[in-house]
Structure 1
Amino acid sequence: MTTTINSRTHSWLPPTPPTGELSGLEFLRALMDGEIAPPPIAGTLGFTLVHVEPGKAVFEGETGEHLYNPLGSIHGGYYATLLDSALGCAVMTRLTAGFGYTTTQLGVHMTRPAFAHTGTLRCEANTVHVGRTTATAEARLVGVNDGKLYAHGTTACAIFPIAP
């Protein structure tokens, strides 16, 4: 039996955390425009922020064997990471300069397995509530090629001032 060994390589720039000078929406738009380096996890897992507007963030991620779990399908952690990224960034679009967020709770509901041949997964997240200290959002993870729902989720986030 011949075994083929596959490999995957990627490079990244040092992360650029928000400094508090830009609003969340301005920061994310600068990231999309290439003025700010994307977070290293995006390159590691192969997903990209493709759209932002107030209260909304959209990510797209490519499936592949490198994301497989022991059962031969895309690992649920990949779903959770796409959901967490989109949900958090949806919240971030509503934050004024000088404020940041962190996920305090993530709920993920997986509805079907994805495979390497599934192709691009699109995660659209929208805020439900953004207050002074907490925020919530909801998202759906859908196959671009087949329109099927692969997962959906919710988040609760803490909002806090960014230290200078």
Structure 2
Amino acid sequence: MQTDEEIGKVAAAVPVIISRALELFLESLLKKACQVTQSRNAKTMTTSHLKQCIELEQQFDFLKDLVASVPDMQGDGEDNHVDGDKGPRRGRKPGSSGRKNGGTGSKGKDKKLSGTDSEQEDESEDTDTDGEEETPQLPPQASHPPAHFQSTPRPLSSRCRG
């Protein structure tokens, strides 16, 4: 703003006010788009959902030119995919561990090696998917038992010679 010759000085509050106005605008746009997404029983908001929201709400009329090239929604029965995309994900198959990167599930993990009770609770919640995609996780560190090196005890005097 200050690089524009037509604008003189800018009060300190102006950028804060503009930022807040932008936040409120985006909040309104996303809430309305979220309603459209949920009305379609989709789990992922797409550009088609935003386009429909912009076309339905009068306050977003000024954005219609921007979304003119976005493809329309396919139909009411569609979930959250567009032509060429894979169908909706269904979660884990029965009997599969669901772990990525070759890690072991909680069956192979010794509960004694886990650090805290909350970690054990988190592990038991890993079996719940509710159809949501799971984020990739690193294999648990405690799946390999700690190496114990045993040595014959020596007198203290022989260890600390200096």
Q: TM-score range by the shorter chain?
A: under 0.3
**Structure with greater helix percent:** 2
Per the normalisation by structure 2, the TM-score is 0.24
Per the normalisation by structure 1, the TM-score is 0.24
Larger relative contact order (CA 8 Å, sep ≥ 6): 1
